[in-house]
Chains A and B, each alone.
Chain A
């Protein structure tokens, strides 16, 4: 294909996209991280009856090695990129890690869990001996006491809520719903930042997360967004 034709095809593609938006009033179809992850198409997502948080920012994987508590704790205490414990990224933001440029992706999962293998594989990234950073924002309609973050992960993972480390589970483990559970905590009214580092050794890798109420029941109806209001 010569340069002129490439330009023409690209121009037609842009034009057809604009035409589609004009005709339907909708954005183009979101990216798909086949088969379970898509780019968010709505401003917010509610946690359902099972309470699972299904919208996340995922950073492309960082190469690491080790799954024991000692290894994982050392891993997550290492600074890979600036503000790694506080950043609320935007879709497409870049981080430079060890000379490589890694991209943040906003994703929704169709399932209860976030399949990191699908995520990395669809991007042509490694799936073994890797660390994934994940971030999301859970908006609570009111201050909620005695709640717990409950997670499962394949494999090891460490979790923070509003900057405080609340869960660490280690070893070559599979995702079990409510495997790691935090101590009782308070969800602030408004945005609460949930951050995770999930480390995989080999094979499948995924995680799931939800909040439990004071009676250990999943909290439904929490609004999950990828930005804090007004930011």
Chain B
């Protein structure tokens, strides 16, 4: 946020946040928050803290509710779990801006129902005197996974984004004798992450706190050293205002700010942020969680899955998930298809329209030299062939359970999956659970008790019929059932063969459980 009107005024503004029920975008439940911290997980619940003492809690990362205000209320806190403690860093104004300080509190748990829930003051870790080129707000705490050293970046538009080292055993400042190091300028809400040999400094550019007129956007630079310099993709140092865009306004959401990494393990990374204005929620500031992808050494903001009809294609095999029924070529059977059609009693052949023109024995028919088309076997019908949908060909489909399979994608109805969010079925960080049905039908993909796949005749809402889609770092998707009967182990859709899919433990090093979702 742009801190030019005083923290107190900012807090006052935040009190007008609307507590809106979920509509159609971002997360579900009560998600009003500004300047969210990094999301932390404690005893299976997700917690996030924002300016003005606002906190949110969720059982699944999808549906959120109001949480308990921590002992210290201020601006734009950040939280990290280290050792056996949660350390929270939170800023407060100590005079006219930019006079401020960042204080630390800690607790063994962030679960207010736990007997161990007790915030303890850890003291001030950094301040700004109101004159220097720094505003000691907007902390971002970072544990270097390569060294175990703990760092804090902080600052706002008044002066520099700065770096100080903390004591990982106490969460406090390691040495007040070591002056802060300047890393960036013309930004705020900074945070740092490490990925594949690089340190990434993420910071928010643009103006905040103006609702739908907020220009907030998250940008990034990288360095081989935690101390910088952090250059963007064009080589511009962030200390000269550089920064590659990670995410900005889009769709019906405006003003992206306050990056926080949410590492879900197995290479699945997401990030939290807030929108300054969600137009579907009256322009209120709301929490969001997005997939974090990587391309050419740079983080990229992914998209949570949207409802639609998709081909589900295996990265490993290139074949597409289908319901294992005998396919019918789009446009109907004609003799040019090698191997020929099945006997007449088992085929679906349009009585009119594309594919219906081939007359046995005629000059363009199966027996003729043109192979079924007047212009020759490669000439087509001369007019567009409509899409194939289930209603055209499903009369020969078995009524009961059908195996799932895989095949080369041929635009056929049994290869097109409608993926639809299921209301009130819960979710996971960033998304609700979905059902996966053959488009135009209620035939539903489900996990079986022997960890295989089946297509059921109808959706009933059982956990094994609910699916989770996590976008992976390369943009492909991990697809997992909410539950597998008789199994406690999370399993993912897996292409064990080119023609066969199953469920198995996710292996982040393999392509077997990576899927592309393509719009037919």
Q: Which residues on the B side are within 8 Å of A212 (C-beta)?
A: 496
Q: Which residue of B lies closest to A176 (CB)?
A: B498
Interface segment among A21-29, A118-126, A136-144, A180-188: the answer is A180-188
Identify which of A171, A180, A216 contacts B504 (C-beta below 8 A).
Answer: A216
- Check B512 against A172 for contact (C-beta < 8 Å): no
Q: Which residue of B lies closest to A69 (CB)?
A: B326
Interface string of A100-135 (1 = CB under 8 A from B): 000000000000000000000000000000000000
| A169 beta carbon closer than 8 Å to chain B | yes
- Bound: A71/B341 CA distance, A: 9
- Check B497 against A71 for contact (C-beta < 8 Å): no
Secondary structure dominating the interface of A: loop
- Check A201 against B338 for contact (C-beta < 8 Å): yes
Q: Which residues on the B side are within 8 Å of A179 (C-beta)?
A: 497-499
A70-B326, A70-B343 as given contacts; A172 in contact with B338, CB under 8 Å? yes
Size bracket of the B interface: 10 to 19
- Check A68 against B496 for contact (C-beta < 8 Å): no
Q: Which residues on the B side are within 8 Å of A182 (C-beta)?
A: 500
- Check A70 against B346 for contact (C-beta < 8 Å): yes
A183-B452, A183-B502, A216-B512 as given contacts; A201 in contact with B496, CB under 8 Å? no
Distance in Å from the Cβ of B514 to the closest Cβ of chain A?
A: 15
Interface residues of A in 8-67 (CB under 8 A from B): 66-67
Q: Which residue of A lies closest to B339 (CB)?
A: A67
A68-B326, A69-B326 as given contacts; A178 in contact with B504, CB under 8 Å? no
- Check A178 against B497 for contact (C-beta < 8 Å): yes
- Check A171 against B339 for contact (C-beta < 8 Å): yes
Q: Which residues on the A side are within 8 Å of B343 (C-beta)?
A: 70-71
A170-B326, A183-B452, A216-B504 as given contacts; A178 in contact with B342, CB under 8 Å? no
Q: Which residues on the B side are within 8 Å of A171 (C-beta)?
A: 339
- Check A70 against B497 for contact (C-beta < 8 Å): no
| B450 beta carbon closer than 8 Å to chain A | yes
- Bound: A167/B499 CA distance, A: 10
Closest 8 CB pairs of A and B: A181-B497, A181-B500, A67-B339, A70-B342, A69-B326, A179-B498, A178-B497, A172-B339
Can you show 9 pairs from A to B with CB atoms below 8 A apart? Answer: A70-B342, A70-B346, A71-B342, A169-B499, A178-B496, A180-B497, A180-B499, A184-B450, A184-B452
Chain B interface residues toward A at CB < 8 A: 326, 338-343, 346, 450-452, 496-500, 502, 504, 512
Chain A interface residues toward B at CB < 8 A: 66-71, 148, 150, 155, 167, 169-172, 176, 178-184, 201, 212, 216
